[in-house]
Structure 1
Amino acid sequence: MKINFKKCLLAVAIIAAGTGFYSCADKVDDSDLYTFTGSTITDYLQKSDNYNYFNIICEKVRLSKKSDSNIAQLLSARGNYTVFVPTNEAIQSYLDSIYVTKDYDITQIPDSTAEYIVRNSIIDNGIAHAYLSTDFLVGALEKTNMNDRYITISYGQDTVSGKATTIVNEHSIIIAPDVELTNGVIHGVDNVVSMSNAYLPDLIEQTPNLKVFSMLLKQTGWDKKMSFYRDEDYEQNHPETITSSDFGTLECPKHRYYGFTAFVETDSIFMEKWGIPAPILANGILQNGDEILEVIKEKAAQAYPAATGTDLKEEDNAVNQFVSYHLLPERLTLDKIVVHHAEMGYAYNNPSQLSIDVAEYYETLPQINFGSTCKSHRRMMKITEGKQTNGKRINRHCKYKTDVEAGDFYEEYDVDREGILIEESNKGYVNNALNGFYYTIDDILLYDPDVPNTVLNERLRWDISALLPEFITNGYRLTTDTRWHIFPPGYFDYMQFSKECKYRYQSYYYSSLPNYQGDEHNLNGQYDVIFRLPPVPYYGTWELRITKASYPTFGMAQMYIGKNPDNLHPIGLPVDLRLEPRNVSIGNEIDTDDWDHNYENDKAIRLHGYMKPPYHNGLPAGGGVVSNSLRNCKNVYEQNLRMRRIVTQGTFGPDEVWYLRVKSVLESTATMFLWDYMEWAPKWVYSGTEPEDIW
């Protein structure tokens, strides 16, 4: 809400000059132009006495450097565009303020300023419908704008009328919503749609109530480690398409962005919880940082007694460990911090009505890339959200009612650790940086001993999408875009695969397939993939499980495991992915009303190295309430349930980096391996005094 607009314009001009990417073609196809009666967005803007300035600016902005077409022409063609159009008064006020003149001549607007105003305001919805106000939820819209940036939505109240308001990017209030036109929807706004083009650490520094955390980022050097946003080598050297006889030709991602998420204590939280002196500011600069830092050093040393290093920029320093546990190596929009889609009792057509708890497990910084070794313990945070949590909670702990036979439905009880609340907004300040988001939290975030030993001492389950930071940052995880996407070798830091392997992804958002969260990752061809596994929270005996999907064309896979990705050891015999779950070598039987029989079947298939899919998720019901569990799938999908394959049991620790390799053992190039989800289970879960729950 409070942004230095001159700095923003300079930054966006530099970024736009090097990007060369827009969501539209370089030239508007004449065949796409409307020939029937009806107003397009451009028609409406041209005729409007309140919004025609925006059209004048659109005529100045070309689709790309190589294009002869402009944005006004684009908005007169077929398509589905969402446009947040500032009023003439808003544009005039904006230009007058940044150029310090009255009644600035709009026809003299520089190209960089025109680009900034126009591209920030427009979303190309592709084949999907443009956004109506009824589609808005708090947080980022799913599709990015023409600058490849997320637009955020929040809600407030008019201080004069008391009426509810819808706010775009914490700055522009929608005053004329839902103007539906033949090629999209216009929402009139009272201010130019602004974007911070600061890196995440710089945006935190610019935010008045985050001065202490900003100081800590600088003192520990994490500000520099988070100040990049795009892989420039990929920009120049990636394949544009990949072709296969199985699926034809697919476009590769145009960009490979880096991203970060920070969970941040406000200055007032530090004062309340840790008793730091009140920050003293002069011209927005912290004056008593040294005094505050001494208090934080003492508190951090108490929280991390083993971190005895004296250099704040090293990982063995307590303050450094305190700060890094707040940071994630992916750009998380609010709605993707915890993904809701296929859990039992949930309906994605009614996203505000939550059901049972869903948990995501994120590895924090420092990032351990492929082939790297640990300097310190790898750490994770658990983020939980459901109808009982009252928001998204970091490191919440409770017990669950899991006896399906008795009518239990994964209800919480005995909540002994409420968890730290992730706040949806920061008092109107912008949280959307060029390379990530920050979210304020309501307590001091620590990796105290109870986190690995209690909170994370459970069965840990990940959808594969959650384990790929680039996948999340670049906006692919479980979107409503149901096209196939393909990724070239080298796109993911945590995964390597051969050039013979074609890595595809499909969200299947609207489909009813037996995938854990609906979507699936396909490795086509003579696949050979090595995956860097997530950590375990403590040293002990753990069981590793991955998806075992079955289909006649899936072939056979040999699995390998080890700490050296160049020298992994085979585990057992190849797994035949063509065998249906009911094959005698697996022995799965669909559940009956006799739960004693069901549990006996669980034991039998476990002896064969398999487990049924979890009861927690089910088949998405076309947007209706999910009620058919993946464990059963009493329909045509019975033959290809996403079973759990027990890969290995052994001793693993948090200071180790383990790799799993999956390799096709058939010569056929028409085979496929389906990644869906994976689990780490501690020994007390799979071999304890009580049977493991089916959830």
Structure 2
Amino acid sequence: MKHLSKLSKFVCTVLLLAGQANLFTGCNDDMPAESYYTFTGEMMSDFLTEHENFSLFKRIAERAGKMDFLGSRGSRTFFPATNTGVEAFLKEKGYASVEDIPASFCDTLLRACIIERIMYTYDLPETQQENNELDLPLILESKGDTLDANQMALTIVNRRAAIINELKNDSVENGVVHPVDRVLVPNTSLGSTLLDEYHEDFQIYYEALRRTGLIDSLYRYRDEEYEQEKGKYAPFTQSMRIGNEDYVAKLPDHRYSGFTLLIVPDKNLYEKYPDRFNESMTMDEKIDALYELAVEKYSGADAEAIFGLNQTAPGSDKTYKQLYWNKGSLTHPYNPLNMFLSYHIIDRLFSSTAKLVNTIGIHTAYADPTDWVSTLLDFSTIKLEKVYRPVDPAVEYPSEFYVNHCHASQYNNYERIRGAHLTVPEQENFSLNVAYYYIDDVVAYDPTMRNTIMNTRMRIDFQLLWPELTNNNMRLCGNPLKEYNSGDNSEDGTEGGGFNYYLPPGYLKNITFSENTMFVVKRPIIYWSNYQGDDIAVLGTSYDVTFRLPNVPPGEYELRLGYCALDSRGIGQVYVDGVPQGLPIDMRDKADAPNIGGLYNGWNGLRCEDDGSGGIYTREELEENARVMKNNGYYSGPKGVFFYLGSGNASTPAYDPSKCIIFYNQNDLLRRKICQVQVQPNKHHTIRLRSVLSSATSGGFSLDYMELVPISICGPGGIGEDIY
């Protein structure tokens, strides 16, 4: 276990404080000072004034001009530093006193330690990610492996400051105060600066990133063109019917880009590949060894076809491979070392593991939460997974994250692929646009990944298709335990701290939609019968949307769309690569409709009597019915996915049989087969959705999740699927 001395030596000097009061809601930081409404009870400003041990941080707030704000009504969480913590900050930065800190920097320090919603430490999971008033992440880790002087577990903020146990959860009229032992200093550097400072443990990967030029490509952060254009978009003021609730969505505040690097530390390269790497080698020799490993991973005719290496370069009679597979062309995208490292860079920012994988609504007794995402290596996909022992009894680190892992199953001839175990560095590992994590082995889009790990039913949440949703805090925003409430109809956000967003044309990459299409990204709610608590609503009387399918290895796949059928939804025609596929999807038809033919025990009744759940159908009856539904082009919902029924009764997203509904048992949750897709190498395939609803009302199309399943599994004579 880690102890307090590794973080700070200041906590023991802090006096016990007290003060509790009722909580109030609502505040706008842009209000003029004379408009603030101040309560008679203790506010955050009073907390700083009345407790001498925070006099220095009070002075920071005064110099920032924020004392009136801290005295205004609201529902905030505040992390002020003790005097000892401020003194350490002054020494660290070379200031003689608080008076030497520029007023603008005081404002930054104040805003860095405020969250605009109330959070108590006893409600925190192991890792929680929130945005502060600078719109930068605050990562709160309560893993129990860092202790104070009294051997009590500490909550660590941004791997820098510890919340002082004796003083935490101090309620004031406008929120809650969690005093910390160090000043929270936001990291406003870009990616290359972060890696320049913290690469002591991964000098080989750092040097390889430098020599390939990839480290210099990590500069994209904020789209300034969007900053200029966003004021021209009309506000979303009308109440649009989405599913069975009325929402109001907001325009995204910004358009950020970001990257996540998966880095193998030097010691792991020495341990895993002792025949290739050792400490006594020169750096040139180590880079050469990494280059040869990359050549091994990406050799072969299949790889040449997938990545276009066998194509003739313009203006040359040679292929890209002939031109750039050499140690003198490391900066070219077709170079093997460049390809190798590009696959280790995910095209979105995961500032913490809190949002690395969406674990909402996955029944971990039967399935691991899994996300398939793109990387900087075009035409590739990487698998992020939180692995549980019931699914993989051989996992060394249960309930932890792995990259490109798969358990032994019929899909891989019962060959377990361990993949790489992902861990969080102890030092600072994220900045404005880059985060990095350690993995204990290299990963590659090699034959093992393409032919074994991806030879399975790939279930992909639609909110994973576009990096912008992660980079701009739309995916997994807010608290999913908070049910739908009046805040969902407000641009000020919901009680759970989340928002619903509508996206203007051009905001997302690799998608186009018509001007009269409303593209709405909804916040996650565990009470919604959506896969992993969220979905995207495509609205409008004549919507028309086209976007890329995820990257999968060449071959034949069955494409399916999963959704919740609702009377308020519409009818859409689906196209793949511009060709219409079958009859339009009527998202109003439930699975027990005559044209689908599913056997269901009422709306959400248990179906199977053989598994002891109290259903009315035998396993044989349901297996036969699955064939009937498949012949009609449909599948039931999966058994490994659930949602909470009811409201206000969930303290965790984990499965609870007394409160949760399995998708398999609900007649409005189903999957529609779209077509068989022949995926070609070095080609991006597209899917188009076009409204064919004749009514003048707005009938939405739900983009909840898709499935891409190799025909070797689901086709005639295939291996066959499980029901999870």
Task: Please give the range of the TM-score, normalised by the shorter of the 2 chains.
Answer: 0.7 to 0.9
Letter in 2 for 1:658: H
Moved more, 73-82 or 675-684: 73-82
Superposed displacement of residue 362, structure 1: 1.5
Q: State the match for 2:722 in structure 1.
A: 693
The 8 Å contact of residues 616 and 629 in structure 1, kept in 2 or not, is answered as: no
Q: State the match for 1:35 in structure 2.
A: 39
1:378 corresponds to 2:402: no
Superposed displacement of residue 677, structure 1: 0.4
**Which structure 1 residue ranges, 5 or more long, are not aligned?**
4-22, 62-69, 281-286, 346-353, 368-376, 403-411, 563-567
**Whole-angstrom CA distance in 1 between matches of 2:62 and 2:575:** 58
The correspondence for 1:574, drawn from 576, 584, 606, is 584
Q: State the match for 2:431 in structure 1.
A: 433
Q: State the match for 2:316 in structure 1.
A: none
**Whole-angstrom CA distance in 1 between matches of 2:151 and 2:539:** 57
Q: State the match for 1:421 in structure 2.
A: 421
Alignment of 1:111-122 (within 5 A): 111-122=103-114
The 8 Å contact of residues 262 and 438 in structure 2, kept in 1 or not, is answered as: yes
Superposed displacement of residue 455, structure 1: 0.7
Q: Name the Cα RMSD after superposition.
A: 2.9
What secondary structure is seen at the aligned counterpart in 2 of 1:77? coil
Alignment of 1:75-90 (within 5 A): 75-90=70-85
Q: State the match for 1:315 in structure 2.
A: 333
The 8 Å contact of residues 82 and 185 in structure 1, kept in 2 or not, is answered as: yes
Judging changes above 3 Å, is the alpha-carbon distance between structure 1 residues 684 and 401 closer, same or farther for their aligned structure 2 residues?
A: closer
Alignment of 1:225-624 (within 5 A): 225-238=217-230, 239=233, 241-244=235-238, 246=240, 250-275=249-274, 288-306=282-300, 308=321, 309-310=325-326, 311-332=329-350, 333-344=352-363, 356-366=367-377, 377-388=379-390, 389=395, 390=398, 391-399=400-408, 416-423=416-423, 425-426=424-425, 428-479=426-477, 480=479, 481=497, 483-511=499-527, 513-525=528-540, 526-537=542-553, 539-562=554-577, 568-590=578-600, 591-593=607-609, 594-621=618-645, 622-623=649-650
Superposed displacement of residue 327, structure 1: 0.9
Judging changes above 3 Å, is the alpha-carbon distance between structure 1 residues 582 and 157 closer, same or farther for their aligned structure 2 residues?
A: closer
Q: State the match for 2:12 in structure 1.
A: none
Judging changes above 3 Å, is the alpha-carbon distance between structure 1 residues 669 and 649 closer, same or farther for their aligned structure 2 residues?
A: same
What secondary structure is seen at the aligned counterpart in 2 of 1:417? coil
The correspondence for 2:155, drawn from 140, 152, 166, is 166
Superposed displacement of residue 663, structure 1: 0.5
Superposed displacement of residue 2, structure 1: 12
What secondary structure is seen at the aligned counterpart in 2 of 1:94? helix
**Whole-angstrom CA distance in 2 between matches of 1:85 and 1:274:** 47
The correspondence for 1:46, drawn from 49, 53, 74, is 49
What secondary structure is seen at the aligned counterpart in 1 of 2:512? strand
What secondary structure is seen at the aligned counterpart in 2 of 1:153? strand
Report Cα offsets for 1:611-660 as digits up to 9, x if no partner. 111111012244263445544445xxx3xx23211111132135220110
**Whole-angstrom CA distance in 2 between matches of 1:441 and 1:675:** 32
The 8 Å contact of residues 410 and 719 in structure 2, kept in 1 or not, is answered as: no
Letter in 2 for 1:386: Y
Superposed displacement of residue 361, structure 1: 1.1
Superposed displacement of residue 582, structure 1: 2.0
Letter in 1 for 2:371: E
Report Cα offsets for 1:437-472 as digits up to 9, x if no partner. 211112222333211111111110111112221111
Judging changes above 3 Å, is the alpha-carbon distance between structure 1 residues 442 and 118 closer, same or farther for their aligned structure 2 residues?
A: same
**Whole-angstrom CA distance in 1 between matches of 2:585 and 2:571:** 5
Letter in 1 for 2:720: P
Letter in 2 for 1:447: Y
What secondary structure is seen at the aligned counterpart in 2 of 1:438? strand
Letter in 2 for 1:335: A
The 8 Å contact of residues 378 and 654 in structure 1, kept in 2 or not, is answered as: no
**Whole-angstrom CA distance in 2 between matches of 1:163 and 1:670:** 55
Letter in 1 for 2:335: N
What secondary structure is seen at the aligned counterpart in 1 of 2:562? strand
Letter in 2 for 1:681: V
Q: State the match for 1:351 in structure 2.
A: none
**Whole-angstrom CA distance in 2 between matches of 1:482 and 1:295:** 47
The 8 Å contact of residues 279 and 289 in structure 1, kept in 2 or not, is answered as: no
What secondary structure is seen at the aligned counterpart in 2 of 1:416? coil
**Whole-angstrom CA distance in 2 between matches of 1:413 and 1:689:** 13
What secondary structure is seen at the aligned counterpart in 2 of 1:656? coil
Judging changes above 3 Å, is the alpha-carbon distance between structure 1 residues 122 and 240 closer, same or farther for their aligned structure 2 residues?
A: farther
The 8 Å contact of residues 29 and 69 in structure 2, kept in 1 or not, is answered as: no
Letter in 2 for 1:204: L
**Whole-angstrom CA distance in 2 between matches of 1:271 and 1:302:** 18
Q: State the match for 1:643 in structure 2.
A: 670
Judging changes above 3 Å, is the alpha-carbon distance between structure 1 residues 363 and 293 closer, same or farther for their aligned structure 2 residues?
A: same
What secondary structure is seen at the aligned counterpart in 2 of 1:397? coil
Q: State the match for 1:188 in structure 2.
A: 179
Q: State the match for 1:656 in structure 2.
A: 683
Q: How many equivalent pairs are there?
A: 613
**Which structure 2 residue ranges, 5 or more long, are not aligned?**
8-26, 241-245, 305-320, 480-496, 601-606, 610-617
Superposed displacement of residue 277, structure 1: 6.1
TM-score under structure 2 length normalisation: 0.79
**Whole-angstrom CA distance in 2 between matches of 1:555 and 1:392:** 38
What secondary structure is seen at the aligned counterpart in 2 of 1:572? coil
Moved more, 683-692 or 83-92: 683-692
The 8 Å contact of residues 172 and 192 in structure 1, kept in 2 or not, is answered as: yes
The 8 Å contact of residues 148 and 154 in structure 2, kept in 1 or not, is answered as: no
Moved more, 604-613 or 444-453: 444-453
Judging changes above 3 Å, is the alpha-carbon distance between structure 1 residues 510 and 52 closer, same or farther for their aligned structure 2 residues?
A: farther
The 8 Å contact of residues 478 and 509 in structure 1, kept in 2 or not, is answered as: no
Superposed displacement of residue 110, structure 1: 0.8
**Whole-angstrom CA distance in 1 between matches of 2:80 and 2:210:** 38
Report Cα offsets for 1:151-203 as digits up to 9, x if no partner. 12345545976554332222222223222212122222222112322222331
Letter in 2 for 1:507: R
The 8 Å contact of residues 189 and 431 in structure 2, kept in 1 or not, is answered as: yes
Superposed displacement of residue 533, structure 1: 0.7
Letter in 2 for 1:448: D
Judging changes above 3 Å, is the alpha-carbon distance between structure 1 residues 227 and 455 closer, same or farther for their aligned structure 2 residues?
A: same
Letter in 2 for 1:321: M
What secondary structure is seen at the aligned counterpart in 1 of 2:295? helix
Judging changes above 3 Å, is the alpha-carbon distance between structure 1 residues 524 and 159 closer, same or farther for their aligned structure 2 residues?
A: closer
The 8 Å contact of residues 361 and 526 in structure 2, kept in 1 or not, is answered as: no
**Whole-angstrom CA distance in 1 between matches of 2:189 and 2:291:** 28
Superposed displacement of residue 661, structure 1: 0.4
**Whole-angstrom CA distance in 2 between matches of 1:189 and 1:159:** 12
The correspondence for 1:218, drawn from 210, 217, 224, is 210
**Whole-angstrom CA distance in 1 between matches of 2:366 and 2:35:** 47
Judging changes above 3 Å, is the alpha-carbon distance between structure 1 residues 215 and 690 closer, same or farther for their aligned structure 2 residues?
A: closer
**Whole-angstrom CA distance in 2 between matches of 1:235 and 1:489:** 14
Judging changes above 3 Å, is the alpha-carbon distance between structure 1 residues 245 and 124 closer, same or farther for their aligned structure 2 residues?
A: closer
The 8 Å contact of residues 131 and 137 in structure 2, kept in 1 or not, is answered as: yes
Judging changes above 3 Å, is the alpha-carbon distance between structure 1 residues 182 and 394 closer, same or farther for their aligned structure 2 residues?
A: same
What secondary structure is seen at the aligned counterpart in 2 of 1:302? helix
Judging changes above 3 Å, is the alpha-carbon distance between structure 1 residues 341 and 401 closer, same or farther for their aligned structure 2 residues?
A: farther
